[in-house]
Structure 1
């Protein structure tokens, strides 16, 4: 007889099983896959832990596959698992104080895990239950803006104010609070150094910006799409995002993906015109 074992910390001995889960849904798992592919499963190098639940027989022997997977770090990202697995992940999460700033991932798992954690971790600042996960694997249908390009390291101080404004608009919190913006500045500088921050500058000011927030061997996840308020309604969001898609699909050989709030009809219309199609459903819980 088989039973689902409790959540346990995974290590390199579980590498093959973890990668099988990540490969099974490369778009949904991009955020976790990008980390695991780069540094493996060691928590110190990963900046978090990967938890799993697997099927074992009554003698306690491992069944050889992971039926549930969750990353616990700056974000809590449950990727696979039924209700019993979410309960097991919640039990493990509650053994320590909350470290994550959000929960994000496939809606079924995020909302299921939140149902187990809400009594202890709630109330949430916001629950975004409807976030279509979208992807495009071909050339964009919108002509890319030729003036959108990778941001240079020496342009950090010009790019950063736009990144902060985007973060405040999207998340509702100033990323400069707490440490004066040191951590956020370092993260943005890291993306720029990696060639994953893109912008159109006019007169030294950012008109459009976007980043490839996570990059696995198969998928690049676009984040932080933003157009200067004075230039909205002029098509910069579509042509700029198309430029980043073009870089991912044609330049890097990846699928381009992103997720968007379901209530953001204008953004969804832009992504539809570019050629994105919905491939899943995400949810986010913000603390």
Structure 2
């Protein structure tokens, strides 16, 4: 996977300096921090790229930077997810100082995000600094292999997998709800769920929802699905992979994922056409890991997620 990972020199280090909230003038520099590891930073970089076009307010969250004065060395996106980006090129003292700075801002703001997610070392260090003041999480997933592929898949794609279209949202949404409920443990549409429905609708409209449907008309249903949950100029991160339980064991996952890789890398709707497709998966999900590796994904890092 070395073909797509940029080679960067170690950053100048600084310790003991607080973090600060960033503004629109800082976005280009924040993206440069993210570019040191495009896969590890994909969730944050996707929001910063929105901010570059539309401004931080429109991107749906706050951006924090370390140090408070001088060139940025680490950043953190604080929105629906709290995503620290603390480059491994920094020395240990500086990394700890960056995490401490972000934790101070997190304690001041209170818990507003539904998760802390990203590179494992940064996430677990940040959560360790927030744990005494933030509510207890529902779950800590501390070992999530981060996988990526930057070439054609090793498995022939399922030609029935395609981008969904807005008219199919009533069919796609129930499958998304079932996947989310299985994965996270509660329904995203409890109490109305309008935000989740709008998220699904926006992914479909952007060409970032992929499905294989069986049946037609009112009998149509999703048997395989996946979304590009975060897309940057270099990386498309796949999320929400799901096969209808009635169709599991039929070998749909690997060809389906191969199709998603090809569609994401070939371009078209949704601003894809990126060189790298990535995802992260729980370490205990041996079947999924085997499927992704069969497709040609390779581990390039490790994520962690703290779920609230």
The interval holding the TM-score normalised by the smaller chain is: over 0.9
Match of 2:182 among 159, 166, 169: 169
- 1:55–1:67 CA contact under 8 A, matched in 2: no
Q: 2:227 aligns with which of 200, 211, 214?
A: 211
Give the secondary structure class of the aligned counterpart of 1:24: coil
2:292 aligns with 271
Q: Which residue of 2 aligns with 1:194?
A: 206
Residue of structure 1 aligned with 2:111, choices 94, 98, 103 = 98
Task: Report the secondary structure of 2:211's partner residue.
Answer: strand
SS in 2 for 1:211: strand
CA contact (8 A) 1:7 1:89 kept: yes
Match of 1:59 in 2: none
2:112 is paired with a residue whose SS is coil
Correspondences of 1:51-90 after superposition (within 5 Å): 51-54=64-67, 62=70, 64=71, 66-80=72-86, 82-90=95-103
How far 1:284 moved relative to its partner? 0.0
Asked if structure 2 preserves the Cα contact closer than 8 Å seen for 1:28 and 1:106, the reply is: yes
Residue 86 of structure 1 deviates from its aligned partner by 1.2
- The change in CA–CA distance for 1:96 and 1:111 in structure 2 (over 3 A counts) is same
- 1:241 & 1:88 partners in 2: Cα distance? 39
Matched residues, number: 279
1:43 corresponds in structure 2 to 56
CA distance in structure 2 between the partners assigned to 1:103 and 1:78 by the alignment? 8
Match of 2:282 in 1: 261
Which runs of 5 or more structure 2 residues have no equivalent in the other structure? 1-12, 88-94, 268-272
For 2:270, the equivalent position in structure 1 comes to: none
Flag the 1:17–1:283 CA change in 2: closer, same or farther, 3 A: same
Query: 2:26 aligns to what?
Result: 14
SS at 1:190's partner residue?
helix
Structure 1 residues 212-239: Cα deviation after superposition (integer angstroms, max 9, x where no partner): 1111111100000000001101111111
Shift of residue 158, structure 1, vs aligned partner: 0.9
Q: What is the aligned partner in structure 1 of residue 264 from structure 2?
A: 248
Deviations 1:114-136 (A, max 9, x none): 00111111321000000011000
Contact 2:67/2:98, CA 8 A, preserved across alignment: no
1:26 and 2:38 aligned = yes
Report the aligned-residue RMSD. 1.6
Which whole-Å CA distance do the structure 2 matches of 1:116 and 1:33 have between them? 23
Cα contact 1:87–1:113 (8 A) shared by 2:
yes
SS at match of 2:137: coil
Higher strand share: 1
